[in-house]
Amino acid sequence: MARDLAGFPRPVLAALAAGERLLTRRAGAKVVLADPEDLGGSDRSVVARARVARNPFSLPRTLVVKHYLGDPDPNRPDPFHYEVASCQLFTALPADARPSPVLIAYDQQARLLVLEDLGRSSTLADKLFGPDPDSAKRCLLSWARALGRMQAATAGRENDFGALLRRLGERAWRDPVAEDARVALAELPKVLAQDLGVTVPAEAVAEARETVRLLGSTRYRAFSPADTCPDNNLVTSRGVRFVDFEWGCFRDVALDAAYFRVPFPGCEASFALPDGMAEAMLEAWRSEIAPVWPELDDPEHLEERLLDAQLLWVWLCTWWLLPRIRVRDVTVGADATRSPRISTALSHYWRQVARMATDVRPASAELGTAVADALGRRYPDTPGTLPVFPAFRSLA
């Protein structure tokens, strides 16, 4: 193995060595992985593609190995368990409904997964930051359809997911943003008053707190990757596929569909969509989920739930992001070329709420205008309008 892997980073070598040991145990004969390609990962994990150089049984020609680094926090749910349970849930689905790579093997002690290789695919982020607006539009619609298909395919499987997590040692599970959302609904008025001098009317607080119903056991629950930012979606020949399920959970489908409107709340790549794109994505998504939840094919019923989800995300994102710019304005993510300024993103989120909520959540609409105006006064040198993703800027 050393001949093939000389010069590669040590964490990649460790991941491939662990993958070889796991696959060799399963096969009962030596499996050799070679020609690694570092796919990145995060501060918690290493992800690498490798060629199967010695294959005693029917393995694909290439595989992806994901190796979690370090020990889990004993006081928090283990993201490795969530990823394994998510991949097990998806691998059991029919191939045409499967939204993710197949799980080939995993080792709980080594904290390792071996996954199907979906190929050298672009991400949705690559398309949104690329030069081709038509390709970007097709990929956004494909992503919306894939989201709907995933939700439709996993409806009613929440108990299965819980059982898989229990087998891995998790005694309970929850939506990772639900606790933050409840705290945001309680504490954001104080943050807005302190940081922007905006007083939140009691009526706006009451309207926001109505959104808590989406965090409970509604009739419209399905699997969510919890982090469906553009860089966690692969554009393949079979459509968009989701990756990275470290915080996978079941929650109300409106919370993910609201990504069409906010857009991509809290993600580093949170630029605006061109006119009409959110509506087209919503229709693509609705066509997939309507057979499972026909009530959501009623525009008024769906609109009420989507507006609540949008409002919840805006309160949560503001609670997350506003304290970060108390000293100076910065971008949402570290890469300033692929991320908007926080003040611009939040101003856009609140103006969208003001526009969408005027007739049904009037206090929230007034608050949206007040927050956006206050951000403009405090940060007059930053753009007041969130630009569209780069792929669409040639159309402006």
CA Rg, the chain, in Å? Answer: 22
Cα separation, 290 vs 60, whole angstroms = 36
Q: How many angstroms separate the Cα of 313 from the Cα of each of 154, 185, 328, 352, 364?
A: 23, 10, 23, 12, 13
Cα separation, 337 vs 349, whole angstroms = 20
Domains and CATH numbers, the chain: 2-116 (3.30.200.20), 122-395 (3.90.1200.10)
Residue 147 contacts residue 228 (beta carbons within 8 Å): yes
3-state secondary structure of 202: helix
Average pLDDT, the chain: 92
* Cβ contacts of 70 within 8 Å, gap of 6 or more: 44
Give φ, ψ of 264 to 5 degrees: 45, 65
Write down the H helix ranges in the chain. 2-5, 10-27, 79-91, 124-128, 133-154, 158-167, 178-196, 202-209, 253-257, 277-289, 299-321, 342-356, 362-378
Q: Give the amino acid at 184.
A: A
Question: For 41-99, how does the pLDDT look when each residue is reduced to its tens digit (9 = 90+)?
Answer: 677 889 999 999 887 677 889 999 999 998 888 878 899 999 999 999 999 998 888 89
Q: What does the DSSP assignment read for 142-158?
A: HHHHHHHHHHHHHTT-H
Using a cut of 0.85, tell me whether the model's pTM lies above it.
yes
Cα separation, 260 vs 272, whole angstroms = 10
Q: Which two tokens stand for residue 202?
A: 């009691």
For 245, counting Cβ atoms within 10 Å of its Cβ (0-12 exposed, 13-18 middle, 19+ buried), the class is: buried
Q: What does the DSSP assignment read for 18-35?
A: HHHHHHHHHHTS--EEEE
* Cβ contacts of 167 within 8 Å, gap of 6 or more: none
Cα separation, 290 vs 145, whole angstroms = 12
User: pLDDT tens, position by position, for the chain (396 residues)?
Assistant: 444 555 667 888 899 999 999 999 988 889 999 989 988 767 788 999 999 988 767 788 999 999 999 888 887 889 999 999 999 999 999 888 889 999 999 999 999 999 999 988 899 999 999 999 999 999 999 999 999 999 999 999 999 999 999 999 998 777 888 999 999 999 999 999 999 999 999 999 999 999 999 998 899 999 999 888 999 999 998 889 999 999 899 999 999 999 999 999 989 999 999 999 999 999 999 999 999 999 999 999 999 999 999 999 999 999 999 999 999 999 999 998 899 999 999 999 999 999 999 999 999 999 999 999 999 999 998 887 899 999 999 876
Question: For 150-181, how does the pLDDT look when each residue is reduced to its tens digit (9 = 90+)?
Answer: 999 999 999 999 999 999 999 877 788 899 99
Looking at residue 383, the DSSP 8-state letter turns out to be -
3-state secondary structure of 240: strand
